[in-house]
Each structure stands twice: as C-alpha cells, then as structure tokens.
Amino acid sequence: MFRVHHLIVKNQGFMDSQNNNPTSASKDVINANPTITGAEIVIRCLNEEKVKFVFGYPGGAVLHIYDEIYKQNGFKHILVRHEQAAVHAADAYSRATGTVGVALVTSGPGATNAVTGIATAYMDSIPMVVISGQVPVPAIGLDAFQEVDMVGVTRPCVKHNFLVKDVKDIAATMKKAFYIAATGRPGPVVVDIPKDITAHLAEYIYPKSVEMRSYNPVLKGHSGQIKKAIKLLLEAKRPMIYTGGGLVLGDGSHELVKLARALNYPVTNTLMGLGGYPATDKQFVGMLGMHGSYEANMAMQNCDVLIAVGARFDDRVIGDPKDFLSKKRTIIHIDVDPSSISKRVKIDVPIVGHVQSVLSEMNELLAAEKTTNDISAWWKQIDEWRGVKSMVYANSDIVIKPQYVIEKLWEVTKGEAYVTSDVGQHQMWAAQYYKFDKPRRWINSGGLGTMGVGLPYAMGCQFADKDAQVACVTGEGSIQMNIQELSTCAQYGLPIKVIMLNNRYLGMVRQWQEFFYENRYSESYMDSLPDFVKLAESYGHVGMKITNPADVEGALKEAFAKKDKFVFMDFITDQDENVFPMIAAGKGLADMVLKKDNKERHED
Amino acid sequence: MKHIISLLMENEAGALSRVAGLFSARGYNIESLTVAVTEDPTLSRMTIVTAGSDEVIEQIIKQLNKLIDVVKVLDLNDGKYIERELMLVKVKASANFKDEMKRMCDIFRGRIIDVADNSYTIELTGSCSKLDAFLEAIDKTAILETVRTGASGIGRGDRILKI
Ligand SMILES: Cc1ncc(C[n+]2csc(CCOP(=O)(O)OP(=O)(O)O)c2C)c(N)n1
Ligand SMILES: [Mg+2]
C-alpha cells in the first residue's frame, strides 16, 4: 500500500493564484482540505523527485503546467528549439548524472517530435520521464486539434506509459513513473496528461514509496550461480571480460575494475560500455564489435570462458551468432533484465541481478579464494594480436585525418571531457581514439543510432556538470539535424565545443557504398553546406575553420581555453577516409577487414 | 510447438494492447487470445495460444513478464492442464444435411441452439483440436459461418495461477 505524506500549503503566492484561477474551488474547501490544481501537483511531484532541470517546449495543452513553472523556482526549465532536442538533452543529463532526466512537451506535434528522443533513450535503457500534454478528456478520440494518441504512439518504445484521466491520480502516477524509469532495467516512461486534468483540483498527496504487485525488479543475484561463475573464472585458460552499457548504467564500474584487476584478465567494452573500464589500463584490449580492435574481437572469439556484464550480444557486437557459437566457450552473463539473457546466444551461467550488487558479491568471494589463475600464455597470444596494430592510421601533413583530430582532442582535454557524438564515421573514430577512463563520459546513441543527438546531448552534459569540458564530435550531416539548438546554447551560455569532422559526405553511408555498392555514391554527398563559421557567429558563438593538419592542436587548445564560449570548430577532413577495422554485417568476429596497409586478414 | 500461456494482469486500459503490441513488434505469432476480468475486478486473466521453438517461447514468457502491467505468467505446457474453447457453427439444414448435422452434433456432444428455416446453429465446447476435428468431420459445403472464442486454459489440480 502507499504510505502517504501530506503537505501543508502555506505559500501566499500560491493562495493568490488559486483565487485567480477560474476553475478553482471555493476558498472554504481550500481551508478545510487544501486542494491545488493538477498543474501544481505536477510541479510539486518534480520538486519531490529533486528534479533540477526540465527540458521542454510549451504549447496549448501544457499551458497550465507552464503557468505553474513561471511561479516556481524548484527546478530550472530549459527552453529548447525543437522537442526532439528536449528529450535528447534530458536523456544525456541522465546518462551523465545517473539520475532520471525530465522532458516536457505539448500534445500532438510536440508529442510526436519527442518520439525519436524517446525511442533513442529506450534503445539504450536510459531512465527518463517525459510529460506530454494531451487534449482535454472529453475531447479525446474526437480528432481534436493537436490530438495524437501518445500512449499508442509510444507504446513500443517506452518502458511504460500512462494516460492520467483523473487529477487525483497525478501524484501517484508521477511517483510510479520515476520509480519504473529508474529501477530494474531503466527506460523512458511517458506520462500523458490531458489539459483539463491540469486545471482540476485535488488534494496533494505524494506517496513516499511505491509497491506494485506486477513490477518487482530483482536486485541480488543468485548466490549459487555467482559461486559457479567464480569457479569457472578461476579455471579458465583463456578468459575474457566483456562489458556493456548495463555496467555503466548500473554504476558497476568500480566493482568491475576491482574484479578484473584481482583476476588480471583482459577486458573489452562495447560502444555503449566505453569508460566502464579505464581505456588507458594495460588490461584493456579496446572496444569490440563491427569497428572494434583486432585484439578485442580475436580474444572474444577465441576465449574459453566469457563473462558478459550488462551487455547483450548485439548484432553490431558479435556479428553472426552462428559464427560466434561455432567456437566453444562457456558464457556467464550478468544482467538485470532476464529477457536479455539467452536472447541471441545461449548462456551457460545466467545471473539475473543488479550488476553492482552481483559484482561486489563476486569480489567478496574472490577475496576469500586462495587460488589464483596464471594465464600468461593467453596474454602472450593477446599481445601478438595487439602487435597487428589495427588502430594505426597513416597520418598526413596535407589533409586532416579525422583520427588525428580525436587523438589531439583527447590530449588537449586530458582525457577528461564529456564527449558526445552524433552517428556516422566520426562516432566510430571518437569511440576508437578517445580513451575514456571514466564511465558516463562517452554519450552517444548506440542502440537506435540517431543522427542529431550530438548537440542536444552536449547540452544535457553541460547542464549536468556546468564547469566540465564538453565536446560534441559530429559530422556535417548529423549536426544539421538539430542545428537549431545553437540558439539554445546561446540563450543559456553553454561553453560547448563542437568538433565537426567535415568530410562533405554522409561518410558512413559513403563507406558502405564504396564497400558494398561498387562506389555508387547514391545521395551520400551533400551540397550547399552553410558557412559554419558565419552560422556560429550569427548566434554569437565563436566559429573556427581548420584546414591544415599543423593547425589542429593549436586550434583545439585555443578553443578549450575559451572557457565561457561556445566554439564551433569546422575541421575540413580527408574525404576518403574509412573506418577500420570493419566486420561486414552478418559476418563473424574473426572476419575483420583491416586497413589497406594492414591488408585483409582472416583467422581460421 | 504449440503452447498455451496464461497470464494475470492489471485490469487497466491499454493492458491488452501492450500484450498484443508485444507479439506483433517481436514477430511472435498468436493463434488465439482471450481475456476477461477475474473474480478480483482489478485483475484480468488472459490465455494466449502461440507457437514457436523452445527459445522463442522462453523469450515470449520473459518479454511478457517484463510488461509492467503483467502480474504473473504461466506456460501451461510446463505441466498438466485443461483447455477449452467454445465454437458456434451455423450450418445448412436443408433436407440432405439435416440428419448428418444432428448425428455429428451428438457424436461431438454439441447442441443445436438455434433452428431456422434453412439453418442450424451448433454450440460446441472442447479442446481446439476437437473443434478442428468437428469442422473436418462435417461436409464443408454445409458450413455457413463459424465463430470461435479461442482457448481458455487452466492448470490441473494444485496448479493454480493466482496472486
Ligand atoms: C536520423 C538518421 N537518419 C539516417 C541515418 C543513417 N546514417 C547513418 S550514418 C549517416 C551519415 C552521417 O553523416 P555525417 O553526420 O556527416 O557523419 P560522417 O559519417 O560523415 O562522419 C547516415 C545518413 C541515421 N543514423 N539517423
Ligand atoms: Mg560527414
């Protein structure tokens, strides 16, 4: 049952607003049993959840809520320029801080504009509450102005959603929404609130806790399974630790580092998991998957005991599952979501639980073990694979190599920046060449691969950590998908640094066309790019265009020295550069195509 | 293989569409789906007949459990169970069909529940396969209309799905 918590309303300003509200009940009702509007209840709930920022955009259906925002100062509302960006910014805020991000949009077009953002967060399991306005209850279903069935539209891309049809349900629904978003396998929750409900009056009762008979996420892993896992790990000859976004989201990084160091086993991270294990550590073999390092993919393919932590054997990670399973290995899988286990690959030792709790239990068991496991032969093999140097590229002093820009970015920011990226080649180069030593610093759309996230993601990070260095690595294609946010960045004085790798191509598309469509570059060249320097300047930002490799480092230093300025850096990069290594879709992990100078290689 | 999955879920607007949406989004097939409120008005009971390999069924169960409105899921095929479906069949009752229909109705323990000038409506309950067998057994040209409820399932004896 809900334990309830009453709030006494003393605020004079609030009473005034009540009296001015045409829909408010008589004063004696307020005195007897304080009631407030649904809109104010929404605000109170957000305050109760200690929300610091709400990213949003107003419109008819949420005007009552916006009126209450005007009167409060519990959180800061960030006015974006497109609802998609509001949701992305809230999503990044959550990724950077580990708290629930909040976005607020109006009904109809506001709501549909938010959908890409919601789906992006859903695919990466990001906890978020998105509040959408809805037409008044009596108008629902009548094709009213700006009506869209938000609960229906978002059903396949939310963890859960609610349509609130009674003002008395707002508080309990908000409580549930935050609880569902943040617990278990996290995800976005939509709360759709009809306009009339935000004007109706109700007593404000915020439940202290939530109990739902239908939703009980597991926390602790099965101790028998955990023991079994430790035993297998200690007997392994060719062990491998593979971690994903779930490790970062479950704040398990610290425990994982402890475990990996105690065992001295190799670690790889997925694209979503970067920073889960420090990239500069000697046990780190790099990112794995489609554009992963040679050593990471070979070790993954050839290990005999694999422990997967908060990772899901995605098609971009293991390629063809049949090929992956053609090699025998024992797999341990820790995940908070039972449905992630044995979804693509059969698991030998499933452990359902919160990664942090399971890993800490493993560390305790391991500390009590006397045995150690010598795997020097396996390390020797891995070092041989490392010798292939799959990440080496031929630098140039004529044309800027995109990889070089990222390497310098890492140096100039001392590896400590929040790096957001868009989607394309630049994303892969950022993942490959920026060495993330901390979790929650690499912010990208891994699951949905949404072009346009980069700039709003950078906004979310900058609000999350106002003094931090925030770099948005983007392409000239992606940046134009949410370019309007340059205006938001100006309004709030966000000192983001945009690192645009401008190859005058939808580079990733061009790369596939080069490899798989005999260089038929169908619609992957973009004409009529704006003068990005002038564009940035028109918003009051600093614009820089860098064409010479010799200027890359100096320009980056100059930009990051402008601590309170938004700097848009247009790096004119090599148009023909491709992302290597590469495993073609549907191929196996050992089927890596290396750089030209490395020549194509296949392992048995 | 065919599986009958029983589930209890919150009797809330939209709960049914979440289950149906899950099946279509993930490409699982639904042979039939029935749902109605239980003795506890806050809970609905659903029976889904589906088919798939063991791995697919395992995923279906996990995915159903993941839905926030779903309280409990049971794969009836994991133990002993009873399955019943109701079918109404309207058949031609012209002179040459009348006797056959009455006879088949008796054999399958059905009942004629409506008699019109040229047709009978037969009510039949049983497992899905029994109903299929009935339709196989009668002359196809005699069938005017069929309507089936889809299977309802319940565990035998101590197998109880309750919260
Ligand atoms: C919204 C959206 N539309 C289309 C795509 C398909 N897509 C993936 S990468 C890419 C090209 C990106 O170009 P750019 O931003 O210039 O980056 P580059 O690959 O050149 O570094 C496209 C079109 C996508 N991921 N997202
Ligand atoms: Mg490009």
Give residue-wise pLDDT tens across range A479-532: 999 999 999 999 999 999 999 999 999 999 999 999 999 999 999 998 899 999
- Report the C-alpha gap between A395 and B12 in whole angstroms: 61
pLDDT of residue A43: 98
DSSP string, A34-75: -EEEHHHHHHHHHHHTT--EEEE---GGGHHHHHHHHH--SS
| Residue closest to A421 by CA, chosen among A512, A492, A508, A544 | A508
Report the relative pairing of strands A442-443 and A418-421 from DSSP bridges. parallel
For residue A432, the CA-to-ligand 2 centroid distance in Å is: 17
Question: Vertex B11, ends B6 and B16: CA angle to 5°?
Answer: 65
Report the relative pairing of strands B152-155 and B81-92 from DSSP bridges. antiparallel
Nearest ligand 1 atom to the CA of A526 is: 16
Nearest ligand 1 atom to the CA of A476 is: 16
Q: How far is CA A175 from CA A208, A209, B149, in A?
A: 8, 8, 39
Dump pLDDT digits (tens) for A55-68: 999 999 999 999 99
Cβ of B71 and A343 within 8 Å?
Answer: no
pLDDT of residue A118: 98
**Chain A residues within an 8 Å CB radius of B9:** 214
Q: What is the ipTM of this complex?
A: 0.93
- Report the C-alpha gap between A406 and A232 in whole angstroms: 39
pLDDT of residue A32: 56
Dump pLDDT digits (tens) for A564-578: 999 999 999 999 999
Average pLDDT over residues A407-436: 98
What's this model's pTM, rounded to 2 decimal places? 0.93
Ligand 1 pocket check: which of A506, A514, A571 to mutate, most ligand atoms within 8 Å of Cβ?
Answer: A506
- Do B4 and B45 form a contact (C-beta atoms < 8 A)? no
Distance of CA A141 to the CA centre of its chain: 34
Rg for chain A, CA atoms, rounded: 26
DSSP designation for A184:
S
Contacts of B106 (CB under 8 A, 6+ apart): none
For residue A273, the CA-to-ligand 1 centroid distance in Å is: 21
Cβ of B18 and A342 within 8 Å?
Answer: no
Helix (H, G, I), strand (E, B) or coil at A431: helix
pLDDT of residue B82: 97
With a cut of 90, say whether residue A151 has pLDDT above it: yes
Average pLDDT over residues B95-103: 91
pLDDT of residue A7: 36
Closest ligand to Cα A84? 1
Cβ of A159 and B68 within 8 Å?
Answer: yes
Cβ of A337 and B66 within 8 Å?
Answer: yes
Which helix (H) or strand (E) is A418 found in, with range?
A: strand A418-421
Report the relative pairing of strands A418-421 and A53-56 from DSSP bridges. unpaired
| Residue closest to A242 by CA, chosen among A264, A265, A262, A223 | A265
Nearest ligand 1 atom to the CA of A506 is: 13
Scanning B2-61 for CB atoms below 8 A from A yields 9-10, 13-14, 17-18, 21, 25, 55, 58-59
pLDDT of residue B96: 87
Return the structure tokens found at A80.
Answer: 């974006």
pLDDT of residue A596: 72
Side-chain half-sphere exposure of A15, counting CA atoms within 13 A: 11
- Do B71 and B77 form a contact (C-beta atoms < 8 A)? no
- Do A455 and A405 form a contact (C-beta atoms < 8 A)? no
Dump pLDDT digits (tens) for A454-483: 999 999 999 999 999 999 999 999 999 999
- Report the C-alpha gap between A168 and A89 in whole angstroms: 30
> How is the beta sheet containing A418-421 ordered, strand by strand?
A442-443, A418-421, A470-475, A497-502, A567-572, A542-546
Dump pLDDT digits (tens) for A6-39: 333 333 333 333 334 444 444 444 455 689 999 9
Cβ of A343 and B59 within 8 Å?
Answer: yes
pLDDT of residue A527: 86
Dump pLDDT digits (tens) for A70-111: 999 999 999 999 999 999 999 999 999 999 999 999 999 999
| Residue closest to A563 by CA, chosen among A411, A441, A417 | A417
Ligand 1 pocket check: which of A508, A521, A529, A571 to mutate, most ligand atoms within 8 Å of Cβ?
Answer: A508
- Do A479 and A455 form a contact (C-beta atoms < 8 A)? yes
DSSP string, A213-243: TTB----SPPHHHHHHHHHHHHH-SSEEEEE
Neighbours of B21 (CB within 10 A): 15
pLDDT of residue B13: 86
Scanning A330-359 for CB atoms below 8 A from B yields 337-339, 342-343, 346
pLDDT of residue A600: 42
pLDDT of residue A597: 60
- Report the C-alpha gap between A176 and B12 in whole angstroms: 15
Q: How far is CA A227 from CA A241, A366, A369, A428, in A?
A: 17, 9, 11, 37
Nearest ligand 1 atom to the CA of A503 is: 20
pLDDT of residue A6: 39
Across the interface, which of A155, A214, A343 has its CB nearest the CB of B10? Answer: A214
Return the structure tokens found at B74.
Answer: 């049971």
pLDDT of residue A33: 65
Closest ligand to Cα A423? 1
Q: For ligand 1, say whether the CB of A509 is within 6 Å of any of its atoms.
A: yes
Dump pLDDT digits (tens) for A365-389: 999 998 889 999 999 999 999 999 9
Closest ligand to Cα A427? 1
DSSP designation for A143:
T
Across the interface, which of B9, B63, B69 has its CB nearest the CB of A339? Answer: B63
Across the interface, which of B14, B59, B68 has its CB nearest the CB of A339? Answer: B59
**Residue A97: burial class (beta carbons within 10 Å; 0-12, 13-18, 19+):** middle
- Report the C-alpha gap between A463 and A78 in whole angstroms: 9
Cβ of A151 and B14 within 8 Å?
Answer: yes
pLDDT band at A5 (very low <50, low <70, confident <90, very high): very low
Is the N-terminal amide bond of A194 cis, ω within 30° of 0?
Answer: no
Which helix (H) or strand (E) is A325 found in, with range?
A: helix A321-325
pLDDT of residue A489: 98
**Chain B residues within an 8 Å CB radius of A214:** 9-10, 68-71
pLDDT of residue A493: 98
Cβ of A155 and B65 within 8 Å?
Answer: no
Residues of A known to be catalytic: 83, 145-146, 195, 508
Phi and psi dihedrals of A92, rounded to 5?
-65, -35
Give chain A's mean pLDDT.
93
Q: For ligand 1, say whether the CB of A501 is within 6 Å of any of its atoms.
A: yes
**Chain A residues within an 8 Å CB radius of B161:** none
Return the structure tokens found at A149.
Answer: 């069935």
Dump pLDDT digits (tens) for A525-552: 988 999 999 999 999 999 999 999 999 9
For residue A426, the CA-to-ligand 2 centroid distance in Å is: 8
Question: Of B16, B24, B66, B70, which to mutate for an interface test with A (greatest number of A Cβ within 10 Å)?
Answer: B66
pLDDT of residue A17: 38
**Percentage of the residues of chain B whose pLDDT score is greater than 70:** 100
